[in-house]
Structure 1
Amino acid sequence: MKCQVKWTDGAQFVAESESGHAVVMDGPPDGGGRNTGLRPMEMMLLGVGGCTAYDVVHILKKQRQDVTDCHVTLEAERADTDPKIFTHINIHFVVTGTDLSEKHVGKAVELSAEKYCSASRQIAPSCEISHSYQVEETR
């Protein structure tokens, strides 16, 4: 996997992935930025959320669960001193569907956390990660 990050000015950078997608990263004005894009640590947190959400939906679909929606809320705490790494992340899933098995949802969350989510596993050695979920019926 390759990517490129190019400085534009101030604290703004444009990152382009090998697959051809681009995103703007920037810092806050007090750090020389103009607040025109995501902060790099926000991108890391979003990556964890996207990776684990993908896993959970994929696992549930393989189990023939009728998933109609899945959203993930992540709350992170960071160290007070440099490097200001993530020290704790809580990942909360809300999985919606028709006749979803709570047991299956719980197992999908567990499998993502313990086996499949490479983004979570990458940061887990230095960060405590907790998970919670709720199952909602499609209306």
Structure 2
Amino acid sequence: MKATIDWTGDAGFKATSGSGHAVQVDGPPDHGGKNQGPRPMELVLMGLGACSSFDVMSILKRSRQDVTDCHTELEAERADAVPSVFTAIHLHFVVTGHDLKENLVKRAVSLSAEKYCSASIMLGKAGVEITHSYEVRAA
């Protein structure tokens, strides 16, 4: 896996993935940025959420669950000192569908957290306390 980062001026950077997709990253105005993109640590949090959501949906599809929506909310706490690393992250999955089996949603969230989500497992090994919750809604 590869990526490139190109400075775009002030506190802005263009991050390009090895697959060719780009994201504008920027800092807040009080740090010389123009607020034209997410902060680097926001990208880490977003990556974790996308990784785990991908796993949950993949597992539920293989379990033949009729999912119509999956919305994941993440909330993170960071250390007060520099480096301001994540100390705790909570992921809350809201899974909507037809006749969803709660035990399969719970299983999908657990499997993602404990076995499949590389981002979650990597952050957990770095000392971040990662917790999960879920709710199932009828479509």
Equivalent position of 2:2 in the other structure: 2
CA–CA distance in structure 2, aligned partners of residues 40 and 14 of structure 1: 11
Equivalent position of 2:119 in the other structure: 119
Q: Tell me the amino acid that sits aligned with residue 129 of structure 2.
A: E
Displacement after TM superposition at 1:8 (Å): 1.4
Equivalent position of 2:30 in the other structure: 30
CA–CA distance in structure 1, aligned partners of residues 66 and 35 of structure 2: 40
| Moved >3 Å (runs of 4+) | none
What are the superposed Cα offsets for residues 85-117 of structure 1, whole Å, 9 maximum, x if unpaired?
Answer: 000001000000100000000000000000000
Displacement after TM superposition at 1:22 (Å): 0.3
Instruction: Give 5+ residue unaligned stretches, structure 1.
Output: none
Equivalent position of 2:90 in the other structure: 90
Q: Tell me the amino acid that sits aligned with residue 18 of structure 1.
A: G
Aligned pairs, number: 138
Q: TM-score, normalised by structure 1?
A: 0.98
* 3-state SS, counterpart of residue 135 of structure 1: strand
What's the % identity of the aligned pairs? 59
Equivalent position of 2:130 in the other structure: 129
Q: TM-score, normalised by structure 2?
A: 0.98
CA–CA distance in structure 2, aligned partners of residues 70 and 62 of structure 1: 15
CA–CA distance in structure 2, aligned partners of residues 73 and 128 of structure 1: 16
